[in-house]
Amino acid sequence: MSTRHIVWDWNSTLFHDIDAVIAATNDSFAAVGLPPITLERYRDLYCVPVPRFYEKITGRLPEPDEWTMLDRTFQRSYTRHADACALTPGVDALLAGWQASGRTQSILSLTAHDELLPFVNRFAIERHFLRVDGRIGPAGGGKAEHLARHLTSMAADPATVVVIGDAADDAHAAREVGASAVLYTGGSHSRASLERAGVPVVDTLAEAVALVGG
């Protein structure tokens, strides 16, 4: 596999925040009377759109008011716990190496745009990216529409693009726009659930970059 541009996912890919995600998920569960979830069970069940994840847990989609509470509680808790999180080990060297090779990269996240930028700026890595885009609009949807807009804003040919992320939705979004994808096991999904997406699955981001840079 060879490509000219990487679209990186942020949460649980470049940013190693899975512990914060689990803590915030359990805080949001507690707010609506649900028992806590383990990392293993989370990885087995997690999906996008996120309300479908809650449906797997409870057997029903959350009501609008319930979803608002779940999302609001999650975001407050996540912000608190994420302060202790760092970049995935080796990210600085991978980003610098890809840029030095003359190829390009960007970030696309389902984190709200205004909340994403301070996280990226905190690690002083924004110089490596053509664009850093977070979610515009309400939470709860998938990445495909956002990815299409992201690539259009850079005039990028999807055939030259690989999405690297930790969720099956990253592969779905890439497929929708005609790009490729590589999925990383260090985040929100188990290897088994990622493999069902039908794209390469790797255990480290270094493996992902080596695969797409071939």
**Helices 18-31 & 64-82 angle (0-180, nearest 10):** 140
Show pLDDT as tens, one digit a residue, over the chain (214 residues). Answer: 568 999 999 999 999 999 999 999 999 999 999 999 999 999 999 988 888 999 999 999 999 999 999 999 999 999 999 999 999 999 999 999 999 999 999 999 998 899 899 989 999 999 999 999 999 887 767 899 999 999 999 999 999 999 999 999 999 999 999 999 999 999 999 999 999 999 999 999 999 999 998 6
- Distance CA(2)–CA(154), nearest Å, equals 19
pTM check: above 0.95: no
Q: Which two tokens stand for residue 68?
A: 């608002």
- What pLDDT score was predicted for residue 34? 92
- Distance CA(43)–CA(171), nearest Å, equals 16
Contact predicate 166/188, CB 8 Å: yes
